[in-house]
């Protein structure tokens, strides 16, 4: 409970305050429209008036907040300011996307309540016009403004129209429809399925917020929801005059016709401090001297007039002591293919100018605080390792610059009020969870191996422990070449599942959990240094730090794990073949090997004897595209031309599944 209070207490408090403000605004404005000023409006609409105005107040409040969590410049300013007083408070800025989503959910909820209430309001306004009976107060109120110059209270001016016509002929109706459609598109395109499969749809649809805010500003411009004016309320209070409505305005009457007016429009201005940094003219992308970059604070994006507008995930690697960026882009579509060609990847002449990357930042992230803690645990999942690449490189370059006290140097905090307090970074634990071991894609096999394996010995350490989670496509030969120590004298233990210099914690403690591991690290640290420091947790499920972690976690939860080894699982999928033919594939795998293989395809498309040969050759092989291709080589024999072509197509699809 103490750790939860230290790590989550402030977050819970912020959410509680935000939710409390929403509750207060709803209750306050609900009761505000139950006052005598709105008595005659309630005669027409009942409590639907309060049910419409209360969520409108909450909408204004949350629409004011919705852009703040994504204002990167503002967050950077707050991070540098708040961190001078409290690192716990500064860590809350790392959850800006979570708060952005919570505010969006609140906007969606109050929008639904507001729309439903106004649907009832339109119906009540129409009913008041249809009941043409001057003995009824609603009809008398609806007639105000028809034959005189007084402001109306019922926006539906005659009974020959309909609610739909009024909806599309008023400013409030048109803007309401526009901002509702924009909000629906923004929310639906933000679902995980669309966001992951069609990221550009999510990205560009989110820019409909411009239409949303423009419509929101002008939504109440016409002031069609009206209450009694203060002057009329004092001279003709409704508690005295509401029963004498048939005598209003007549000679000798004690009550005049009530006058109505809407609330004065208030312009809510939202200043988007985020925006992108001004894009300079294309030029060299070298880090200039004195550039305020830190580990994990700079993002890189390519800009070229020859590449159509688009969005793709980039994986930059940058250390504050390097004069260059290393950017990795996986070619997965038309836009990345166009970027590849624009950068000159399709020709050998490297002298030709290509697309030039520009620096977007620096922006503050949790990564820049890593050296302000005494013990740091870095957990990267898949491509989520990129925020930590610059940290590992920073450690390396500190040593290269003859800084032998990388982990023992006193680092003064940036807080002037607490300037005497110093932080002593003693240990860094780095965990990388990977589904595949294609380290080459991230430029690790040739350069990072020395950071991951050799750093300990080069920093006067005699032992190194790498805690790896090895999954279904683990290529042991690749692991062996990548993870072997590059410097003699490192003491490390090999695991039973992989013949390499790796210590797999699962082999030593099959029941080990993350909670137990973190408690053990804290206890070991406090015992070793005689302290009582609390545990500080960084959320590994944060999509902004670890993109793709949710999808990977859901996939891993569906597997049947065999601890200490590669998992046991099955593959069931359909292969799309030529001539509108599909084949059903069923693979059973255990310890990384294919224990059984079954392919069902039409006999007319490919003879069953060839299909069975394919299955027999794959059984017993590793679940690896290279191993499968080698095993199926002997099927490259002379068959009928069409049959051989179909066989090659089937083999290609099988290898693609394993890739």
Band (pLDDT 50/70/90 cuts) for residue 420 is very low
Least confident of 105-114, 448-457, 613-622: 448-457
Torsion over CA of 230, 231, 232 and 233, rounded to 10 degrees? 40
> Residue 17 pLDDT more than 60?
yes
CB 270 within 8 A of CB 209: no
Give the number of other Cβ atoms within 10 Å of residue 109's Cβ: 15
Residue 625, SS3 per DSSP: helix
Domain spanning 569-658 has what CATH number?
A: 3.30.390.50
User: Could you report the per-residue pLDDT of 103-125, keeping only the tens digit for each?
Assistant: 999 999 999 999 999 999 999 99
Read off φ and ψ for residue 411, nearest 5 degrees.
Answer: -110, 115
Band (pLDDT 50/70/90 cuts) for residue 546 is confident
CB 583 within 8 A of CB 574: yes
CB 357 within 8 A of CB 327: yes
Read off φ and ψ for residue 429, nearest 5 degrees.
Answer: -105, 125
Q: What is the pLDDT of residue 361?
A: 60
User: Could you report the per-residue pLDDT of 462-486, keeping only the tens digit for each?
Assistant: 343 444 443 333 444 544 444 444 4
Q: Which residues have C-beta within 8 Å of that of residue 655, sequence separation ≥ 6?
A: 625, 628, 629, 632
CB 255 within 8 A of CB 234: no
Mean predicted confidence (pLDDT) in 250-261: 83
Mean predicted confidence (pLDDT) in 166-188: 93
Q: What is the pLDDT of residue 356?
A: 62
In Å, how far are 380, 443, 547, 642 from 544, measured between CA atoms? Answer: 12, 22, 6, 50
- Angle between the N-to-C axes of helices 209-218 and 48-65, in degrees from 0 to 180, rounded to the nearest 10: 130
Band (pLDDT 50/70/90 cuts) for residue 7 is confident
Give the number of other Cβ atoms within 10 Å of residue 645's Cβ: 11
Give percent above pLDDT 90 in the chain.
17
User: Could you report the per-residue pLDDT of 275-322, keeping only the tens digit for each?
Assistant: 443 333 333 334 444 444 555 454 444 444 444 444 444 555 555 555
> Which of these, 328, 373, 425, 387, lies nearest to 540 by C-alpha position?
387
Band (pLDDT 50/70/90 cuts) for residue 377 is confident
DSSP 8-state symbol, 568: B
CB 186 within 8 A of CB 209: yes
> Residue 94 pLDDT more than 90?
no
> Residue 172 pLDDT more than 70?
yes
C-alpha radius of gyration, the chain, whole number: 33
Band (pLDDT 50/70/90 cuts) for residue 522 is confident
DSSP 8-state symbol, 278: P
Q: Please, what's the largest Cα pairwise distance for the chain?
A: 113
Q: What is the pLDDT of residue 387?
A: 66
Band (pLDDT 50/70/90 cuts) for residue 383 is low
Locate tokens 């990548």: which residue? 482
Give the number of other Cβ atoms within 10 Å of residue 598's Cβ: 14
User: Could you report the per-residue pLDDT of 42-76, keeping only the tens digit for each?
Assistant: 999 999 999 999 999 999 999 999 998 888 778 87
Tokens coding 586: 């069923």
Q: What is the pLDDT of residue 406?
A: 47
Give domain limits for the chain: 2-170+222-262, 365-529, 569-658
- On average, the pLDDT of the chain sits at 72
Q: What is the pLDDT of residue 567?
A: 54
End-to-end alpha-carbon separation of the chain, Å? 45
Least confident of 74-78, 192-196, 389-393, 564-568: 564-568
User: Could you report the per-residue pLDDT of 489-516, keeping only the tens digit for each?
Assistant: 433 333 333 333 344 555 566 677 777 7
Q: What is the pLDDT of residue 142?
A: 86
> Residue 141 pLDDT more than 80?
yes
Residue 376, SS3 per DSSP: strand
Least confident of 319-333, 516-530, 546-560, 609-623: 319-333
- Angle between the N-to-C axes of helices 48-65 and 96-130, in degrees from 0 to 180, rounded to the nearest 10: 150
Phi-psi region of 654 (alpha: psi -120 to 50; beta: other; left: phi over 0): alpha
Q: What is the pLDDT of residue 475?
A: 46
pLDDT higher at 252 or 599: 599
* pTM passes above 0.85: no
Band (pLDDT 50/70/90 cuts) for residue 181 is very high
> Residue 632 pLDDT more than 50?
yes
Q: What is the pLDDT of residue 213?
A: 93
Task: Round to whole Å and give the CA distance between 356 and 305.
Answer: 10
Mean predicted confidence (pLDDT) in 444-464: 38
Q: What angle do CA 57, 102, 266 make, to 5 degrees?
A: 25
Read off φ and ψ for residue 103, nearest 5 degrees.
Answer: -65, -40
Q: Counting every residue, how long is the chain? A: 659
């Amino acid at each position: 409970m103490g750790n939860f209070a230290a790590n989550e207490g402030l977050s819970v408090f912020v959410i509680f305050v935000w939710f409390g403000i929403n509750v207060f605004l709803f209750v306050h404005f609900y009761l505000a429209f139950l006052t005598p000023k709105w008595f005659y409006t309630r005669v027409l609409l009942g409590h639907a008036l309060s049910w419409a105005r209360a969520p409108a107040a909450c909408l204004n409040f949350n629409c004011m907040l919705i852009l703040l969590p994504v204002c990167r410049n503002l967050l950077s300013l707050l991070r540098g300011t708040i961190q001078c007083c409290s690192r716990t408070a500064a860590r809350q800025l790392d959850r800006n996307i979570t708060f952005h989503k919570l505010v969006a959910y609140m906007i969606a909820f109050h929008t639904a309540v507001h729309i439903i209430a106004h649907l009832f309001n339109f119906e009540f306004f129409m009913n008041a016009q249809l009941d043409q009976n001057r003995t009824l107060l609603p009809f008398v109120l609806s007639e105000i403004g028809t034959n005189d110059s007084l402001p109306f209270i019922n926006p539906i001016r005659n009974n020959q129209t309909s609610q739909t016509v009024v909806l599309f002929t008023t400013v409030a109706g048109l803007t309401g429809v526009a901002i509702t459609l924009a909000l629906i598109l923004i929310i639906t395109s933000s679902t995980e399925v669309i966001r992951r499969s069609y990221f550009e749809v999510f990205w560009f649809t989110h820019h409909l917020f411009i239409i949303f805010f423009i419509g929101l500003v002008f939504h109440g411009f016409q002031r069609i929801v009206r209450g009694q004016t203060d002057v009329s309320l004092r001279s003709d209070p409704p508690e005295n005059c509401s029963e004498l409505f048939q005598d209003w305005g007549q000679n000798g009457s004690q009550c005049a016709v009530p006058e109505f007016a809407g609330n004065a429009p208030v312009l809510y201005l939202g200043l988007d401090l985020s925006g992108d940094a001004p894009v300079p003219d294309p030029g060299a992308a070298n880090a200039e001297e004195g550039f305020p970059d830190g580990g994990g604070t700079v993002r890189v994006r390519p800009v070229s007039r020859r590449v159509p507008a688009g969005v793709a995930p980039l994986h930059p690697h940058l250390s504050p002591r390097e004069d260059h960026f290393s950017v990795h882009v996986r070619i997965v579509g038309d836009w990345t293919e166009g970027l590849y060609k624009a950068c000159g990847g399709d020709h050998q002449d490297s002298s030709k100018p290509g697309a030039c990357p520009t620096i977007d930042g620096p922006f503050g992230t949790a990564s820049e605080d890593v050296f302000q803690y005494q013990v740091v645990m870095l957990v990267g999942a898949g491509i989520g390792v990129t925020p930590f690449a610059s940290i590992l490189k920073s450690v390396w370059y500190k040593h290269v610059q003859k800084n032998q006290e990388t982990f023992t140097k006193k680092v003064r905090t940036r807080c002037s009020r607490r300037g005497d307090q110093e932080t002593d970074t003693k240990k860094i634990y780095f965990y990388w969870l990977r589904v595949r071991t294609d380290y080459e894609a991230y430029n690790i096999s040739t350069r990072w191996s020395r950071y991951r394996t050799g750093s300990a010995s080069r920093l006067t350490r005699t032992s190194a422990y790498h805690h790896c989670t090895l999954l279904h496509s683990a290529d042991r030969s690749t692991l062996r070449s990548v993870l072997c120590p590059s410097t003699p004298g490192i003491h490390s233990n090999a695991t039973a599942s992989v013949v390499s210099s790796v210590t797999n914690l699962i082999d030593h403690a099959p029941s080990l959990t993350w909670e137990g591991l973190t408690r053990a690290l804290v206890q070991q640290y406090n015992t070793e240094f005689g302290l009582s420091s609390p545990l500080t947790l960084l959320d590994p499920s944060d999509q902004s730090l670890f993109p793709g972690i949710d999808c990977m976690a859901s996939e891993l939860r569906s597997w049947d794990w065999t601890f200490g080894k590669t998992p046991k699982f099955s593959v069931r999928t359909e292969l799309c073949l030529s001539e509108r033919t599909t084949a059903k594939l069923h693979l059973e795998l255990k310890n990384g090997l294919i224990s059984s293989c079954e392919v069902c395809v039409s006999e007319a498309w490919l003879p069953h004897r060839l299909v069975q040969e394919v299955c027999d050759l794959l059984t017993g092989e590793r679940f690896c595209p290279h191993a499968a291709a080698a095993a199926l080589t002997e099927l490259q024999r002379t068959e009928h031309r069409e049959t051989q072509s179909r066989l090659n197509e089937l083999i290609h699809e099988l290898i693609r599944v394993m890739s």
